[in-house]
């Protein structure tokens, strides 16, 4: 797994990457909220004064959040990634979901 690949989508600035919408599930899936909560708890490593925008439908994400990069010390991701998990049922690549869920099972 690449340490930064949770940000490698067209909507997050990589024009050669696939669209994040390819990973949207048509319905809520098990552990979706746990995954989103885990992403929200990542430490902020970079922050911008810009507000995060919905890259799919446009407009600002509400409640408003600043653009940022979060990390768990091993991987980094956009601070708005949890929004897409909750709003669009985004499925992360399996290796990342498995990694996050392994944290739940190790409590």
Number of domains in the chain: 1
Domain that holds residue 79: 5-105
The answer to whether 91 and 100 have CB atoms below 8 angstroms apart is: no
Torsion sign across C-alpha atoms 76, 79, 80, 86: positive
Tell me the C-alpha distance between 66 and 102, whole Å: 29
The per-residue pLDDT for range 12-44, each reduced to its tens digit, is 888 888 899 999 999 999 999 999 999 999 999
Please give the share of the chain, as a percent, with pLDDT higher than 90: 67
What pTM value is reported for the model? Answer: 0.89
pLDDT of residue 9: 85
When pLDDT is averaged across residues 9-13 and rounded to a whole number, the result is 85
């Amino acid at each position: 797994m690449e340490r930064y690949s949770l940000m490698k989508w067209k909507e997050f600035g990589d024009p050669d990457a696939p669209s994040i919408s390819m990973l949207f599930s048509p319905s809520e899936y098990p552990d979706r909220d746990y995954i989103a909560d885990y992403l929200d708890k990542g430490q902020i490593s970079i922050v911008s004064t810009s507000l995060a925008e919905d890259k799919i439908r446009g407009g600002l994400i509400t409640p408003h959040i600043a653009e940022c990069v979060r990390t768990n010390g091993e991987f980094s991701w956009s601070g708005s990634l949890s929004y897409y998990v909750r709003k669009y049922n985004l499925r992360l690549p399996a290796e990342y979901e498995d990694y996050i869920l392994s944290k739940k099972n190790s409590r």
